[in-house]
Amino acid sequence: MVRVGWMMLMVNLLVCTGMYAQKTWDGEAGDSLWQNPRNWFPDGIPLAEDHVLLDNSKMIVPYKILINGPDSIVIQSLTIQPKDSNRIILEIVSSSTLPIAVYINSSQKNIVLEKNATLINQSGASSGNIFSLNSKVYIKNGGRYVHKTIRGNAYFVSKLEIDTSSAKGVMEFDVPGNSGYTISLSGRRFGTLQLSAHEILKKSYSGSGSNPLIIEGDLIIGKNVFFTSSLVKNIEVKGNLTVEGQCAFNPASPDSTGRSFLLNGEESNIAVNGKLLTGNHFNQFVIGSKINRLLTHLHIENGWIIQNSESSLLMDTFHLKSPNGIRIHNRALLGTAHPEGISKDTTKGGLRTPMLMLHDSLRILYNGDKNQETGSGIPSSIASLLVNKNGTLFFTTPIEITDSIYLQKGLCKTDSIHLLVFKGSVAIGNDSSYIDGPFQYTGSDSAHITLPIGGKNRYAPLIIEIRKNEIIHVEYVDSGFQTNGTELEFPVKSINQSEYWKLKFSNIDTAHRIRKLIFCSNKNTPTNNTYIVRLNDVEKWEMLPLISNNPIPHSIETRTVLKSSIYTTGFIQQVALSNQRFYLSNNKSSQGRTLTWKYESNENAIMYIIEVSEDGYAFKPLDSLQAGSSGDNTYQYVVKKSIAIKAFYRIRAILKNNERRFSNIILIHFENPIALLYPNPCHHQLFLETTNGIQSGIWAAPSDGRKIRLPYSQVGKTIKVDASSLHPGAYYLQMVSKGVHQSIPFVKY
Whether the per-residue pLDDT at 249 is higher than 70: the answer is: yes
3-state SS assignment for residue 313:
strand
More confident residue, 1 or 713: 713
Helix (H, G, I), strand (E, B) or coil at 418: coil
Mean pLDDT of 156-160: 97
The pLDDT score that the predictor gives to residue 551 is 34
- DSSP annotation of 166: S
pLDDT at 75 over 90: yes
Q: Which residues contact 390 (CB under 8 A, 6 or more apart)?
A: 368, 369, 370, 409, 410
SS3 567: strand
Is residue 11 over pLDDT 60?
Answer: no
CA–CA distances in Å: residue 252 to residues 211, 232, 278, 357, 489: 13, 6, 12, 28, 77
Question: What is the mean predicted confidence (pLDDT) over 603-615?
Answer: 88
- Residue 682 has a pLDDT of 85
Q: Which helix (H) or strand (E) holds 130?
A: strand 130-133
DSSP secondary structure letters along 583-642: EEEEEEETTEEEEEEEETTGGGEEEEEEEEESSSSS-EEEEEEEPPSSTT-EEEEEE---
pLDDT on residue 95: 96
Q: How confident is the model at residue 689 (pLDDT cuts 50, 70, 90)?
A: confident
Of 748, 737, 598, 742, nearest to 664 by C-alpha is 598
Distance in angstroms (rounded) separating the CA atoms of residues 386 and 679 = 13
Q: Does pLDDT of 512 surpass 90?
A: no
Q: Quote the pLDDT of residue 497.
A: 41
Whether the predicted pLDDT of 659 surpasses 90? no
The tens digit of pLDDT for each residue in 19-72 reads: 569 999 999 999 999 999 999 999 999 999 999 999 999 999 999 999 998 999
| 452, pLDDT greater than 80 | yes
**Going by C-beta distance under 8 Å and a sequence separation of 6 or more, which residues neighbour residue 169?**
113, 138, 139, 140, 141, 142, 143, 144, 145, 162, 191, 192, 217
Residue in 355, 354, 299, 306 with CA at minimum distance from that of residue 334: 306
Which residues, including other chains, have CB under 8 Å from residue 216's CB and lie 6 or more apart?
Answer: 162, 166, 167, 168, 189, 190, 191, 192, 238, 239, 265
> Higher confidence at residue 535 or residue 21?
21
Least confident interval from 230-244, 323-337, 689-703, 714-728: 689-703
- Nearest-angstrom CA–CA distance, 614 and 498: 28
- Sorting pLDDT into bands at 50, 70 and 90, what band is 222? very high
pLDDT of residue 481: 39
Give the H or E element holding residue 543: strand 541-544
| pLDDT at residue number 509 | 78
Q: What is the mean pLDDT of residues 521-545?
A: 48
Q: Residues 714-719: what's their mean pLDDT?
A: 82
Residue that wins the pLDDT comparison between 486 and 378: 378
Determine the pLDDT at residue 466: 83
- Please tell me the predicted confidence (pLDDT) of residue 485: 32
pLDDT at 543: 42
Q: Which CATH class is domain 582-669?
A: mainly beta
Across-strand partners of 385?
364, 405
The vertex-380 CA angle with 398 and 339, nearest 5°, equals 70
Q: What is the mean pLDDT of residues 319-329?
A: 96
pLDDT score, position 392: 95
Q: What number of residues does the chain have?
A: 749
- Pick 66 or 666 by higher pLDDT: 66
Query: 221-230, 494-503, 628-637 — which one is most confidently predicted on average?
Result: 221-230
- pLDDT band for position 80 (cuts 50, 70, 90): very high
Three-state DSSP class for residue 741: strand
Contact 326, 355 (CB under 8 A): yes
Task: Name residue 383's beta-bridge partners.
Answer: none
pLDDT of residue 671: 59
The whole-number pLDDT of residue 641 equals 60
Residues 258, 249 contacting (CB under 8 angstroms) = no
Mean pLDDT, residues 267-273:
98
Q: 582-669 with 674-748: one CATH topology?
A: yes
Please give the pLDDT value at position 6. 45
Q: Is the pLDDT of residue 530 over 70?
A: no
Compute the average pLDDT of residues 604-629.
86
Write down the pLDDT at residue 111. 98
Q: How far apart are the C-alpha atoms of 341 and 623, rounded to whole Å?
A: 52
Q: Do 364 and 400 touch, CB atoms closer than 8 A? A: no
Q: Is the pLDDT of residue 626 over 80?
A: yes
Taking the domain 674-748, which CATH number applies?
2.60.40.10
Residue that wins the pLDDT comparison between 489 and 476 = 476
The DSSP string of 207-273 is: E--SS-EEESS-EEE-TTEEEEE--SS-EEESS-EEESSEEEE--SS--SSS--EEE-SSEEEEEES
> Do 631 and 520 meet the contact criterion of CB atoms below 8 Å apart?
no
Q: Which amino acid is at 289?
A: S
- Averaged pLDDT for residues 274-280: 97
What pLDDT shows up at residue 702? 83
Instruction: Give the residue extent of every domain in the chain.
Output: 1-166, 186-302, 309-434, 465-572, 582-669, 674-748
Distance CA 748, CA 737 (A): 22
Rounding to the nearest 10 degrees, give the CA dihedral for residues 236, 238, 242, 247.
0
Q: What is the pLDDT of residue 499?
A: 57
Check whether 560 has a pLDDT greater than 70: no
The pLDDT value recorded for residue 592 is: 73
- Lowest model confidence (mean pLDDT) among 43-57, 189-203, 500-514, 712-726: 500-514
Mean pLDDT of the chain: 84
pLDDT at 681: 82
- What value does the mean pLDDT take over residues 462-483? 73
When pLDDT is cut at 50, 70 and 90, the band that residue 672 belongs to is low
Region 138-163 average pLDDT: 97
Tell me phi and psi for residue 673, to 5 degrees.
-60, -20
Residue 672 CA to chain centroid, in angstroms? Answer: 23
Poorest-pLDDT segment among 393-397, 511-515, 534-538, 687-691: 534-538
Q: Say yes or no to pLDDT of 221 above 50.
A: yes
- The answer to whether the CB of 25 falls within 8 A of the CB of 59 is yes
Burial of 547 (0-12, 13-18, 19+ CB in 10 A): buried
What tens digit of pLDDT does each residue of 627-656 get? 987 656 789 998 876 546 678 889 999 988
Q: Is the confidence at residue 514, as pLDDT, over 80?
A: no
DSSP letters, 74-93, are: EESEEEEE--TT--EEEEE-
| Least confident piece of the model among 546-560, 603-617, 671-685, 703-717 | 546-560
Question: Residue 217 pLDDT more than 70?
Answer: yes
